[in-house]
Chain A
């Protein structure tokens, strides 16, 4: 396999009038994790569907493991595992039967299939639930089974399309741990997510997608550096002071802050602004519940690049 595990070049895709992808390029070196980050409808799933041979692009080309996704689709399918945005396991079978089905389809013998199914059930903490119909699984169990199902054939490239959407924080942490384990074994991962925290926690590199275009790319630190290394964050004591505080922050930093309820944040590269801010708050007689200068988050990056927070466009 070549050193570049996944390569997308100028991918375009329209569905009727809607342009889902408008020229997307990226590369994922072998054994690395790429986080594709963006709000709902940004084109993340369309990109995954093209790379996993489920959809033909209108323009552009893509290769997985050195094989062209259109011309060598079968070879690509032999390399990949896909965990979709919606758990694509059969609800009417048991967890174990789902894994057996996939193993048998991949040409494993009955004995091999049974061994692989039991191994994966154990690895994903589903041994006890393996004999029950998937219909009765919790969301977290279902996602774990879905991930297990995509690993039956020992894929070297794994596509995870919003693997933790809708999961509670505990189940999300569990799944992250499993994904880290796979990466440690050398699996290349492309992960889409709308959670900035998730991309930050798992990805070596991140591409930010919005309206079908890559608007920024780099490591999490590089992206944060683009915006300013730090953020000024403050929590207004009173709801009706938020507008006044926002105006003050804009005046000091030259940037409109991101406002979420009583919380305001604005990226900055100048630590001395904190001192200025404290003085101006004092002069204006404003009281805040919290005031901090912290490392910039990917929220700040997205806000700076698009002019709106991730959650707002979801």
Chain B
């Protein structure tokens, strides 16, 4: 659909901020949602640490050290599903149409969603770090590494959000987004080195697990928080982010326009 002039860039950014505020405001009236993306990762952390820690790493504290960076990455992938869920809710309930019939930047509703999601992502990373710290996790690399890790994880989160935007556009209703999203996210996050070191897996699996962006980003995060190799896994993670964005951003926007043109 043609834009016919339209709002300027500054207006668009302001509108994006307003729409992001709206997505975060929703949480206030739906406290269970914050539980969804806050309690679940903490439960995962505690469960794996105390149930499997001894068996996998010899001690729970040693396992926490290995696992925490990976759990942060895993949870990031889970949280991207909310972008698709929120977008689909707006599309099916007619909220998206109300925004589109207003004199605002065409890209603001989608951008607002994604920005709000990055705020949720940052909150989750900090929450897991704090809980990890209380359980005994300690930084072994300079504090600057922590900041770089956050930027790196958020960058990959932004890229992966485009996949869930596509799911949100294609799915019939919000329930299908969750079903479809989590079904895809589970194998991607578990066939990785988040919970178990790569070396312990069968050789044929090591290739798949090693190339998984979740593994690569986990490795980069471990390096940035604990010391160790950073550059190679970080560059591979960014390469993945770039490829995902190049493929899925245009595809998502195309699918969105197609859905909207269907009336």
Contact = CB atoms under 8 A, between A and B. Distances in A.
Contacts of B2: 56, 70-71, 73
B97 A54 contact: yes
B100 interface: yes
B30 A92 contact: yes
Interface residues of A, number: 45
A80 interface: yes
A78 B93 CA distance: 23
Given A55-B263, A88-B95, A92-B29, A75 B5 contact: yes
A89 B101 contact: no
A53 B101 contact: yes
Given A20-B263, A93-B25, A82 B104 contact: no
Contacts of B19: 101, 105
Contacts of B11: 107
Contact of B29 (A68, A84, A94, A102): A94
Given A88-B97, A104-B18, A74 B4 contact: yes
A82 B98 contact: yes
Nearest to A149: B98
B93 A86 contact: yes
Contact of B102 (A45, A68, A87, A105): A105
B22 interface: yes
Given A71-B2, A78-B103, A101 B93 contact: no
B101 A90 contact: no
Contacts of A80: 101
Contacts of A104: 18
B228 interface: no
B94 interface: yes
Contact of B94 (A87, A92, A153): A87
B12 to A, nearest CB: 11
B219 to A, nearest CB: 38
A156 interface: no
A93 B22 contact: yes
B263 A15 contact: yes
B6 interface: yes
Contacts, number: 107
Contacts of B30: 92
Contact of A71 (B4, B29, B102): B4
Contacts of A30: none
B98 A84 contact: yes
A150 B102 CA distance: 9
Interface in A146-203: 149-150, 153
A241 to B, nearest CB: 46
Contact of B261 (A56, A77, A86, A101): A56
A53 B263 contact: no
A46 interface: yes
A247 interface: no
Nearest to B94: A88
Contacts of A106: 102-104
Contacts of B103: 74, 77-78, 106
Contacts of A55: 1, 260-261, 263
A97 interface: yes
A119 interface: no
Nearest to B17: A104
A80 to B, nearest CB: 7
B100 A54 contact: yes
A259 interface: no
Nearest to A48: B101
A164 B1 CA distance: 29
Interface in B1-42: 1-7, 11, 14-15, 18-19, 22, 25-26, 29-30
Nearest to B112: A105
A72 interface: yes
Contacts of B100: 53-54
B187 to A, nearest CB: 31
Interface in B239-263: 260-263
Given A80-B101, A93-B25, A74 B6 contact: yes
A52 interface: yes
A49 interface: yes
A53 B94 CA distance: 15
B97 A105 contact: no
Given A49-B263, A105-B99, A106-B103, A73 B29 contact: no
10 contacts: A71-B2, A71-B4, A72-B5, A74-B3, A75-B5, A85-B94, A88-B93, A90-B22, A92-B29, A101-B22
Interface of B: 1-7, 11, 14-15, 18-19, 22, 25-26, 29-30, 93-95, 97-104, 108, 260-263
The 9 closest A-B pairs by CB, nearest first: A88-B94, A73-B4, A77-B103, A88-B98, A92-B26, A78-B103, A74-B5, A86-B94, A82-B101
Given A72-B4, A90-B22, A102-B102, 4 more contacts: A54-B260, A70-B2, A82-B98, A133-B29
